[in-house]
Amino acid sequence: MNFKMILAIAILLIASLSLFHFTYSGSSSKSLVQSSGKHLEGIDPDEVDWRSKTVEYWESVLLPEQYDVCRLGGTERPFTGEYNKFYEKGVYICSSCGLELFSSDAKFDSGTGWPSFWEPINQNAVELKRDSTFGLIRNEVVCPRCGAHLGHVFNDGPEPTGKRYCINSVCLLFDSGK
Ligand code: FE
């Protein structure tokens, strides 16, 4: 094998590796876009019967970490969420069904590592459920429209309500246009 042949093989190898990398990152960013609210685009989310959606549907439209938290009641790792340190003006909607949940006007830095709000956007925006998992009595915060688990509410929040709605980032999508 002469030098030119070795060089040609090396170039071919590098080219195919870059192509693989490009294809791989391309498909991964596509799935992120699809799973971050793509299923809510071009539809009127108020007209959909979200409670009738199947496990297969949620698995196909949500990211695995969204599915784990919003549909199975898991908790994202603190300080990892997109909206933990995010303070733009707008409205946070349910990442599963698009219902308006919280306004940026009620968002504060709780230092816990999860997005925190002192009140929902209106009285009916969230539903509370008693949660006794892990031997703790807590109030679970749930989306009233699709049943998504959102987080928990505690009584150590700031004025004016004294409440701290501790919400997983992956259960939210930010809408700056509201
Ligand atoms: Fe929802």
* pLDDT tens track for 106-132: 999 999 999 999 999 999 999 999 988
Averaged pLDDT of the chain:
85
* pLDDT tens track for 54-107: 999 999 999 999 999 999 999 999 999 999 999 999 999 999 999 999 999 999
pLDDT of residue 178: 58
With beta carbons less than 8 A apart as the criterion, state whether 148 and 70 touch.
yes
Kindly indicate the confidence band of residue 133, based on its pLDDT and cuts at 50, 70 and 90: confident
CA 58 from chain center: how many Å? Answer: 13
Angle at 16 between CA 10 and CA 21, to 5 degrees: 125
Q: Residues 94, 97, 146, 166: which is the catalytic one?
A: 166
Distance 76 CA to ligand 1 centre (A): 17
Among 172, 117, 116, residue whose Cα is nearest residue 143: 172
Is 70 among the residues known to form the active site? Answer: no
Distance 9 CA to ligand 1 centre (A): 53
Kindly indicate the confidence band of residue 170, based on its pLDDT and cuts at 50, 70 and 90: very high
Written as six digits, the tokens of 149 are: 């688990």
Query: Rounded to whole angstroms, how far apart are CA atoms 87 and 53?
Result: 32
Distance 62 CA to ligand 1 centre (A): 12
3-state secondary structure of 110: coil
Identify the weakest region by mean pLDDT among 6-20, 114-128, 139-153.
6-20
Query: Rounded to whole angstroms, how far apart are CA atoms 108 and 174?
Result: 15
Q: Which domains does the chain have, with CATH numbers?
A: 38-175 (2.170.150.20)
pLDDT of residue 27: 34
Query: Rounded to whole angstroms, how far apart are CA atoms 35 and 11?
Result: 36
Distance 93 CA to ligand 1 centre (A): 8
What strands lie across the sheet with 91-94, from one edge to the other? 100-103, 91-94, 172-175
C-alpha neighbours within 13 Å on the C-beta side of residue 79: 2
Q: What is the mean pLDDT of residues 122-151?
A: 94
